[in-house]
Structure 1
Amino acid sequence: MSNNLALNIEKIKKEKSGIDVLADIYFHAVFGEKISPENLERFKWYGIYAQDEQQNYFSIKIPLNMGELNLIQLKTLSLISKQFSDDSLIFSNEQKIEFKNIKIFDLPKIFKLLQEVNLNTFFEAGHTVRRVLTCPVNGIDKTQLIDVEPLANKLNETFIGNKKFENLPNKLQIAISGYEEGCDVQFTPDVSFNAIKDSKEKILFNVKILGNSIGFISPSQVLKTAIAIANIYKDFGERDDVEKSSFEYLVKNLGLIRFYDILNSTINYKIQQSSFKNEISHPRKPRLGINESKIEGQSYIGCKIYDRVVQSSKLDNLSSLLEKYEANRVKLTHKGNIIILDVPTLNAQNLACELEKISFNPFV
């Protein structure tokens, strides 16, 4: 076997699925035996990474469904940081929480705490369909064409933890937006579904492959289209050469028109075709500061965070302020900032002023 695990990833996956290593994680946590390079690769399916060759410390990445955390989850993350991770955590890109300097024998306790508040690390990495990316102000912004949360939930429920989609040639990232221009997620997703209105004010979704529009579908066809695309990637993607295993390489190798034809041949409806051009648009960015919510009597507050490493004391201060001002939900943006989603409008100005004092700055 080559020393380069990347060249042998298909062999590693055939020997044992990344989704089947949870028992191995617990075994190593109990007995402390050194983890094989192959299992270290598989452990990534559960968001676990060795920080050093001696395996003294590990990091854990927790992907958040649509970037959201409630008050109880925030308090649990703070508790984990205090007990197991040097009193800190990281608000990372792609709406994830990261803990560093974890000891292997603490993983079962951490997993239990996460499970109790409906958080998990499944499909954080690996050759899987990742959690769908959405706009941080989805569902509360008045200018949004449609709330895509129900569709995003269906996508996550279909793909996350599903053995049918745990062995793709490489990762597949899907995004869905209630805006025609999509959301600013820092990079071009493999597949995007952006809401539009047609001439009759009917909601459709513009299907984009690597940023290129291939046509329009109804909301009820989004999940079926996503499944069809994932299956095409699973069946046609390159597995012999890891450098050519990406979804991007597959599409460029096939050509967008051929990819469109294959996709249409695998579904029982026709994507309403548009011109194959790169559309020039500026993705919608989440707004910082105090903003009026579409939910009557509520506002949302976007806060800039300059240091992604957040001390537990700072997180506790945030939780205390949320309780004081009757808010319960926050979202991480794709740049690691936060948005408090459900602030009573009468409390918004006072909360914003207090947030500024603890370096969650709405006034930028």
Structure 2
Amino acid sequence: MAYEQIWNQNIQLLNDVEKIKLKRDGLDVIETIVNKYSKQGIESVSDEDRILLKWAGIYEQKPKNGLFMLRIRINTGKIDVPAAKILAEIAEKYGRDFMRISTRGAIQFYNIRMEDLPEIFLKLNSVKLASYESCGDCPRTVIGNPLAGIDKYELMDTTELVNQVNDFFLLNRDFSNLPRKLKISISASTRNAGNSEINDISFTPAVKVIDGEEVAGFHLKVGGGLSSKPMMAREVDAFILPEQVLKVTVAIATIFRDFGYRNNRSRARLKFLVDDWGIEKFTEKLFEYTGELPKRGIDKSDGSNSINYYGVHRQKQEGKSYIGVHIPLGHMTSTDFKELIEISEKYGDGILRTTSSQNIIISGIDNEKVSEVLKNKIFEKFSHKPETFLSKIVACTGSKFCNLALIDTKNIALKLSSYIDDRLKADVPISVKISGCPNSCGHTLIADIGIRGALLKENGNSCEGFDVFLGGALGKNAAFGQRLNLRFKEEDLLKAVHSFIENYLNHRKDNETFHSFVERVGLEYFEKLQSQIEPGY
């Protein structure tokens, strides 16, 4: 460790997790898992180390019976065939043949046993993958453009930049003890592929004339995040060259490490520091580390909202296409994944790409081979042109595995999809995102219709309930969804969402988005609609 922990001067002010981290770096738990806990079992894990297990990329899953969720870092979603085969093997051999794509494009396994972790770590390492620091108070998986290198809309291929940033921070003990997680997004696509507004650090495409020549680079946003106190990332007045991205990222991580709040974990994210300081003070502090940077150039983002990538699309490479495939709620078996791997290996460029919408892209396919590829049976299960409402839905893990979730997100997603499909036959330009709790891992607050788990009291007993948020969006008109002043039971939720969508389809203006419709008619319009709905099915 090559820095001074300046926050340890007032230990009595630190929260309990910070006091644990003063005794032991979270990364130390990896060796302890391998040498002790995997041999002696979950009962041997100390209470303090149960907190630090996250640095190894594992969470004890519900119902805390000694089994774990394991998250794998997948930078911008790109997985080569050798790595993909190892992931399929892990699912089949250790994870009860189940794997899931997260809302940051990571791969997650469940039902993992402590005793299997050393072998899993070795398998991951053999293909340059890791679960380390995919959880915990450290820099997380770097997200960005899943189409990096093949995107017609990118100013440059950001693959090497992303890898450079990831490689610098991974297992770097100078940054393994942050106040909370640090989420980084790097994208040069003119479409908002990296969800720039909701990350701690976001690099977005820009150009600037320097010495008479137009140069491609990045603009910078800091302090975005969701959870119970959401904030949109704020723009720093700076233009950043590609070769400066790592330096700027390290500077921000250093500021966060040294000045972020360690007394109250609910206010420990970077967004609170940026909000309290203001963007001017934050920029001034940033320039102390980087030197003054040029003023902003010309923003090249086109204002797009989220992208689902479904269908067949031409790549920037002549004669090549990619296919965006719907993976319902991101859930797959190892057999499913192996079939996609085989297609990529036989017809594509040997790379599978996961997306924040929990889907998969198969890239590098010869244009004349696309129709042949689509004859594969796997596309009957995973359509490239999905027609069900489920293709509009993103969801977090939910109460089946997550100790924080209040609802079974998969269950409500399937019921909602079936309910809408039975009643609306037209294509519905709506996004629905479901989270089991206020942490908003399912990105509830940036959806057209966001659904969040809650508790209802019925006859003195608690039961599943649902809060609803309307009109969330990223891009040009970025805004968080507005919460209806209602809490729903399941049967009422299904009817309400159907009513909201039907009214939008019937009363929208030409090309009016759901976000714009909500802005125009107001929340009271939807609350009045709900009051007209009879309870029950």
Same fold (TM over 0.5): yes
1:186 positional shift: 8.8
- Which aligned pairs between 1:238-277 and structure 2 lie closer than 5 A? 238-272=261-295
Residues in 2 aligned to 1:322 and 1:274: alpha-carbon distance in whole angstroms: 39
SS in 2 for 1:155: helix
Q: After the TM superposition, which residues 1-364 of structure 1 pair with which residues of structure 2 at under 5 Å, given as runs? A: 7-26=15-34, 27-32=36-41, 33-52=43-62, 55-180=65-190, 182-185=192-195, 188-198=198-208, 200-209=213-222, 210=224, 211-215=233-237, 216-272=239-295, 281-283=303-305, 285=307, 287-354=309-376, 357-364=379-386
Separation in 2, partners of 1:65, 1:262: 28
Is the 8 Å Cα contact of residues 148 and 177 (structure 1) preserved in structure 2? yes
What is the root-mean-square deviation in Å for CA atoms of aligned residues? 2.3
Contact kept in structure 1, 2:175 and 2:253, CA below 8 Å: yes
In structure 2, the CA distance between the partners of 1:181 and 1:335, relative to structure 1 (3 Å rule), is closer
**Cα deviation code 1:30-79 (max 9, x no counterpart):** 12243122111111011111125654211211121221112222222222
Using the size of structure 1 for normalisation, the TM-score is 0.91
- Ranked by relative contact order (alpha carbons within 8 Å, sequence separation 6 or more), the top structure is 1
Q: What is the distance in 1 between the residues matched to 2:323 and 2:65?
A: 41
Deviations 1:208-251 (A, max 9, x none): 12332212222222211111111111111111111221101000
For 2:16 and 2:150, locate their aligned partners in 1 and report how far apart those are by CA, in whole Å. Answer: 45
Please give the alpha-carbon distance, in whole angstroms, between the structure 1 residues aligned to 2:26 and 2:108: 20
Deviations 1:123-180 (A, max 9, x none): 1011111122111111101221111112112111111211111011111111111134
Asked which structure has the greater CA Rg, the reply is 2
Whole-Å separation in 2 of the counterparts to 1:195 and 1:320: 34
| Paired residue total | 356
Contact between 2:187 and 2:194, CA under 8 Å: does it hold in 1? no
Q: Note closer, same or farther for the CA distance 1:326–1:335 as it changes in structure 2 (3 Å cut).
A: closer
- How many Å separate the matches in 1 of 2:318 and 2:103? 31
Equivalent residues of 1:29, 1:108 under 8 A apart: yes
Provide structure 1 residue ranges, at least 5 long, that are not aligned to the other structure. 1-5
**Counterpart in 2 of 1:3?**
none
SS in 2 for 1:165: coil
Q: Matched residues in 2 for 1:70 and 1:317: separation?
A: 14
Could you tell me whether the CA contact under 8 Å between 1:44 and 1:126 is conserved in 2? yes
Deviation at residue 286 of structure 1 after TM alignment: 5.2
Determine the C-alpha separation between the residues in 2 that align with 1:241 and 1:327. 47
Counterpart secondary structure, 2:129: coil
Contact 1:264 1:271 in 2 (8 A): no
Give the superposition deviation at 1:273: 5.2
- Seen in structure 2, the aligned counterparts of structure 1 residues 355 and 263 have a Cα distance that, compared at 3 Å, is farther
Answer whether contact 1:176 1:182 (CA < 8 A) is retained.
no
What's the % identity of the aligned pairs? Answer: 31
Instruction: Tell me how far 1:308 sits from its aligned partner.
Output: 2.3
Alpha-carbon separation, structure 2, partners of 1:53 and 1:34: 18
What is the CA-CA distance between 1:356 and the residue it aligns to?
A: 5.6
Runs (5+) with no aligned partner, structure 2: 1-13, 225-232, 387-537
Query: Secondary structure, in 3 states, of the residue corresponding to 1:198?
Result: strand
Tell me how far apart the structure 2 counterparts of residues 30 and 112 of structure 1 sit (CA, whole Å).
16
Distance 1:274 1:11 in 2: 43
Aligned pair in 2 of structure 1 residues 342, 180: CA closer, same or farther (>3 Å)? closer
